Amino acid sequence: MFGWKKWGILALVVGASMLTAVKFSTGSPCPTPVSSARYTADGKLMLPQGYRSWAFIGSTVTPNGLNNGKAGFPEFHNVYIERVNLGAYRKTGVFPEGTVIVKELALVRNATHPDGSTDEASGRGFFEGELNGLDVTVKDSKKYSETNNWGFFNFGHHALPYAESAKEASAAECAGCHQAGAATTDMTWVQFYPNLRTKN
Amino acid sequence: MFGWKKWGILALVVGASMLTAVKFSTGSPCPTPVSSARYTADGKLMLPQGYRSWAFIGSTVTPNGLNNGKAGFPEFHNVYIERVNLGAYRKTGVFPEGTVIVKELALVRNATHPDGSTDEASGRGFFEGELNGLDVTVKDSKKYSETNNWGFFNFGHHALPYAESAKEASAAECAGCHQAGAATTDMTWVQFYPNLRTKN
């Protein structure tokens, strides 16, 4: 009889532990960290992981052919944000502290016309070729207070693989343009990203 | 004593059930259905939900200004696939049965030049404006065997909201062009979507 009592108590304790575990796991089935920004010991931002599975918010293309061969970014810009922070932005209109936004570049494919466009079954236009670079911005009001709370990082403007870490870019390289043109929308070109403006 | 035995057995049963539940939930912490395709009673495809949180695979733009004002799709095409099926494709080079691919259209913003481009801080190019339409394709070798195993659906070519359901488009409307130009890559323009070709 003592055996049953012992096993009963043990089973109750194990069951209670499991109940707690199940409660927490069902409360948030796919928890996402508020920020994925990770830094090396010497303060460089580490290359974000898995960003192509984050939420896409919009794409732009500024080809060399339309910029006298001197486009700052002659590729498509595909822009991603972590889902948890996109949800917060849609609710509040503010990017939460820790937000990471990634801009991956993709070469314009088969530039056959002088403007860089090409002809495909769907018409003449611009089509994505190979991936060609990565820029990242992180919202952190303590680290980047001098550049409107956002730090900017370049992980290479070339084919894969990108750099494993990057130091903060100077204001002249990145933040300056965002401060001049997007200061009123939290340093982000919200007008170009329709998926920021929808409700889901 | 009988009380302990009864409670002990009950606790063991509950504990075992929880163990089973935990085993399944930790085995796949964020389960995704293989296919999100849902149909109405009369066979129409229902508007996919949450696709802007699926994996983005690439964008193209074929503006009216480059197509004599008659582009079939004068907007950006932002293309999404469910993450589980993207992972399978990257591993096998084949889209699994049930794969759903969504193409959402976004108007070209502020067409100030004849080609539809505009000038922004990052240069002259094409930028996304408002969302403007949705096309969906579903791989189902039983339902769509006559069009290389894919069915095509149009949920509207206009601003939000889109139609709640859509009947299969005729081959002349959609599948024909994919059969003519993308039959060797499983009806999908893989060459335009760099995120299909990367390994992560």
Q: Is residue A125 scored above 50 in pLDDT?
A: yes
Average pLDDT of chain B, as a whole number: 87
Whose structure tokens read 């339309």?
A66
Find residues 50-89 of chain B whose CB sits inside 8 Å of chain A. 50, 52-53, 55-56, 58-63, 66-67, 71-73, 76-78, 80, 83
One-letter amino acid of B11: A
Among A1, A4, A190, which would you mutate to test the B interface (most chain B Cβ atoms within 10 Å of its Cβ)? A4
Determine the average pLDDT of the residues in A20-34: 43
Q: Do B73 and A123 touch (CB under 8 A)?
A: yes
Q: Is residue B145 scored above 80 in pLDDT?
A: yes
Closest CA to B189 of A76, A127, A104: A127
Residue B183 burial (CB count, 10 A): 10
Determine the Cα–Cα distance for residues A31 and A34; give it in Å rounded to an integer.
Answer: 9
Residue B192 phi, psi (nearest 5) = -95, -5
Q: Is residue B149 scored above 80 in pLDDT?
A: yes
The two beta strands, B76-81 and B118-120, are: unpaired
Q: Do B124 and A80 touch (CB under 8 A)?
A: no
Of the candidate ranges B30-44, B59-73, B155-169, the one whose mean pLDDT is the lowest = B30-44
The CA-atom distances, in angstroms, between A124 and each of A117, B63, B64, B69 are: 6, 8, 9, 11
pLDDT class of B7 with cuts at 50, 70, 90? low
Cross-chain CB nearest to A11 (options B12, B60, B115): B12
Q: Do B21 and A21 touch (CB under 8 A)?
A: no
**ipTM score for this prediction:** 0.82
Would an 8 Å CB–CB cutoff place B16 in contact with chain A?
Answer: no
Torsion over CA of B70, A112, A56 and B147, rounded to 10 degrees? Answer: 60
Would an 8 Å CB–CB cutoff place B121 in contact with chain A?
Answer: yes
Q: Is residue A107 scored above 90 in pLDDT?
A: yes
Measure the CA angle with vertex A131, ends B83 and A148; round to 5°: 90
Residue B67 is predicted with a pLDDT of 97
Q: Which residue of A has its CA nearest to B2?
A: A1
Torsion over CA of A172, A176, A177 and A183, rounded to 10 degrees? Answer: 170
Would an 8 Å CB–CB cutoff place A127 in contact with chain B?
Answer: yes
Measure the CA angle with vertex B199, ends B193 and B200; round to 5°: 90
Question: CB neighbours of A75 closer than 8 A, spacing ≥ 6?
Answer: A61, A105, A106, A107, A108, A132, A133
Residue A193 is predicted with a pLDDT of 96
- Cβ-based contacts of B7 with chain A (< 8 Å): 8, 12
A186: left (phi over 0), alpha (psi -120 to 50) or beta: left
Find residues 96-115 of chain A whose CB sits inside 8 Å of chain B. 106, 109, 115
Q: Is residue A18 scored above 70 in pLDDT?
A: no
Cβ–Cβ < 8 Å for A78, A60: no
Determine the average pLDDT of the residues in B12-18: 49
Q: Do B181 and A121 touch (CB under 8 A)?
A: yes
CB neighbour class for B171 (10 Å; exposed up to 12, middle 13-18, buried from 19)? middle
